[in-house]
Each structure stands twice: as C-alpha cells, then as structure tokens.
Amino acid sequence: MKWISPGGLILKQPPDSQLDLTESCLPLDRRRYGRLVDVQRAGEGGREFQRVSDELRARIADGTYPLGTLLPSQRDLAAELDVSRDTVQKVLRELVGEGLIESRQGSGSRVVRVPVTQPSAGLHGRLRGGPTLGPLLDEAFERPQVTLDVYSLTAESLAAHLTVQAERIAGGHITPQSVVLRLILPSEDLSLPYPRAKDDPADPRLANRLRLIGARSVESMSRRFVELGEFVDTVSFEVRRAPLTPAFKLYLLNGSQALQAPYEVIERDIRLDSGEVVSALDVLGFRAAITRHVTNADPDSHDTFFVDSWQRWFDSVWNQVAVAQSK
C-alpha cells in the first residue's frame, strides 16, 4: 500500500503520529465532521436551538448523516456548531421524540429515519434543488478507481464527507481498489480577505481560527486515509499550498465531473474559542450552491470543455504554483 503524508512524502507505513487514535480519531462509525456556518449570539438560545435543529435535519435529509450511522458526539457537535452542549442535548431530545434518531447512553445517537419533509430551503441553500455533494461523492466512490482533485478554502466539508465514504468502505458497502486525493489549500502565510473582523481588519484571531479549521480538516483526512489502507489496495492523500485566495471550491471527480461552488461573502458574528463574539466578513462554504458539469462523448460540448479546462487549471496550479504542505 502506498500512503502519502500531507507533506507529500511517500511512506511505507504511516508515521506513529498518524496512528494515535485519540478521542479526536474514533473508529470510522463513531465520527462526523461539519461546521454550521452561522453563529448566534449568547442571548439567543431559542434561535440557536432552531438553527441547530434545522441544520441537523438538513444533514440527515441530504445524506451527510446517512441512515444507520452515528452522529458526532455531543461535545463535537457543540464545538462545530458553536453552541452550548445544553442546546445540542435539547435538539437531540427533540429528534429522538420525532423518531429520527435513537440515543443510548455510551453509544451515541444513530440515524434511524430520514425526514419525509425536508427543512425550509430558505435556511439551507444546498436543498434548493441543485446538486448536493453527498450523493455525488457516493457515486464517485462506487467506481473501482477513485480520483479526487479538490481546491478549497479549508476542505472542512470534504473532511466530513470523506468520513462517510470511509464508513461505507469499512462496512463493505463499496469496494474501490484505489482512492487518490490531491488537495490544494491557500498558503498558510497568505493574507486572506476573509474571514476578517469588520472593526479591526488587522485582528489576526480570525485568520488563526481559519488556519486551525484547515489543519483539523487535513488531520481528519490523514487519519481516514490511514484507516482506509486496511480496506483499499492503494490509497494516496497529498496536500499542497498555493498563494491564491479561493473565490470558489472545486471538486474534480474521477476525471469526468467538475463541481464548482462560489464562496459568497457575508457579514456574520463569529464566536472565538474564548467565547468572545466578533462581527466579521466571512464566506458561506458548507452551504454553497454547487454547479455540476459531466463529460460526454462530444469533445466539443460545453460540459466536456468545462471539465477539461478546469482539470488543466488544477494540474497547472498543482505542478507550477503549489508547494508541499510544511509539516
């Protein structure tokens, strides 16, 4: 098995640091990743409850949390959704009461039913009728040879969906022979226009927070690939950094599909780890609307030209501009 570290070094076996199965790296059926892209103020408990409730329902409805799988732990959900653990507990109790999940002490919360009526499309841009990432990755991972070329701001959504695919593989539901992922992220020392505090654009805390989110995403995927090595003949994960500010996220799937989603700039409040809330300019990432293009037999068709053009763009940045991520 070939395994490539995030720095691009080919290893015969993963380093010990990648095998440290701490609480942040539970077995495949025990983890989910995701982050609500809107943060509520401390005094708005009712709105926080509704937002978390709508978000979890949307993830169950669109397959981010598939039927029969476990939700993240309460602590992880609270951290990722930027709410209190008490709010998460109240939402989970509501979902249990409606029969969407089952919760058992020490075993977590498992999805047992998908809602028939999906949440309001006004709250969830990814449910507005356009393609969503989950089903498209499901389809891509059902091929014998899986190749993913991804350009993103933090790859947080990708990390969440990769965990789902890893569980499908570990459970024997799909059996790819190889999984290869190349990921381009912004250079770590690049000054980005977002997220940025409105009152003090020079405030470094939001940039540091973004770098931490990206680092956690890469760490999560690194561990998923270590685990995938037990089930897949060939796995390869490589990260490179480019001095570019992503205005969109790009997924190139198996050389035949291009998924593109723009980062919409918004004003929102961001809660820091200290509990302080900062008014900021940020971007919608997790809920960004996706445009899909698929190659066909006509080499001159719009979709084929689109996919081929963006594949050439990715390859050019990968080979000419991006550099291996520092360890």
The CATH number assigned to the domain holding 73 equals 1.10.10.10
129 vs 117: CA distance, rounded Å: 14
Beta strands 145-151; 248-253: pairing state? antiparallel
State whether 42 and 114 are in the same domain.
yes
State whether 66 and 195 are in the same domain.
no
Give the residue numbers spanning the domain of 122: 31-129
Give the domain-ending residue among 106, 129, 152. 129
> Given this model, what pLDDT does residue 135 score?
86
State whether 223 and 306 are in the same domain.
yes
Give the domain-ending residue among 129, 146, 170. 129
Structure tokens at 86: 């008490």
State whether 201 and 73 are in the same domain.
no
Helix, strand, or coil (residue 67): coil
Give the domain-ending residue among 129, 159, 194. 129
Q: What is the DSSP string of 169-206?
A: HHTTS---SEEEEEEEEE-TT---SSSEESS-TT-THH
State whether 50 and 135 are in the same domain.
no
Helix, strand, or coil (residue 107): coil
Count of domains forming the chain: 2
State whether 204 and 275 are in the same domain.
yes
Residues of the chain scoring pLDDT < 70: 1-45, 115-130, 285-288, 327
Query: Interior CA angle at 32 toward 61 and 58, to 5°?
Result: 20
> Given this model, what pLDDT does residue 11 score?
36
- Phi and psi torsions of 324, nearest 5°: -60, 140
> Given this model, what pLDDT does residue 116 score?
52
55 vs 31: CA distance, rounded Å: 17
State whether 273 and 154 are in the same domain.
yes
State whether 326 and 187 are in the same domain.
yes
Q: Where are the alpha helices (DSSP H) in 171-299?
A: 205-228
> Given this model, what pLDDT does residue 194 score?
92
Q: Tell me if 279 sits within 8 A of 267, measured CB to CB.
A: yes
Angle formed by the axes of helices 156-170 and 133-140, nearest 10°: 40
Q: How many CA atoms lie within 13 A of 191 on its CB side?
A: 4
Whole-prediction pTM: 0.64
> Given this model, what pLDDT does residue 20 score?
33
> Given this model, what pLDDT does residue 47 score?
77
Q: Does residue 326 come out as left (phi exceeding 0), alpha (psi in the -120 to 50 range) or beta?
A: beta
State whether 229 and 249 are in the same domain.
yes
183 vs 224: CA distance, rounded Å: 15
State whether 319 and 182 are in the same domain.
yes
Of residues 127, 139, 133, 126, the one with CA closest to residue 168: 139
State whether 320 and 230 are in the same domain.
yes
Query: Interior CA angle at 159 toward 153 and 163, to 5°?
Result: 170
State whether 151 and 297 are in the same domain.
yes
Q: Tell me if 34 sits within 8 A of 60, measured CB to CB.
A: no
Helix, strand, or coil (residue 31): coil
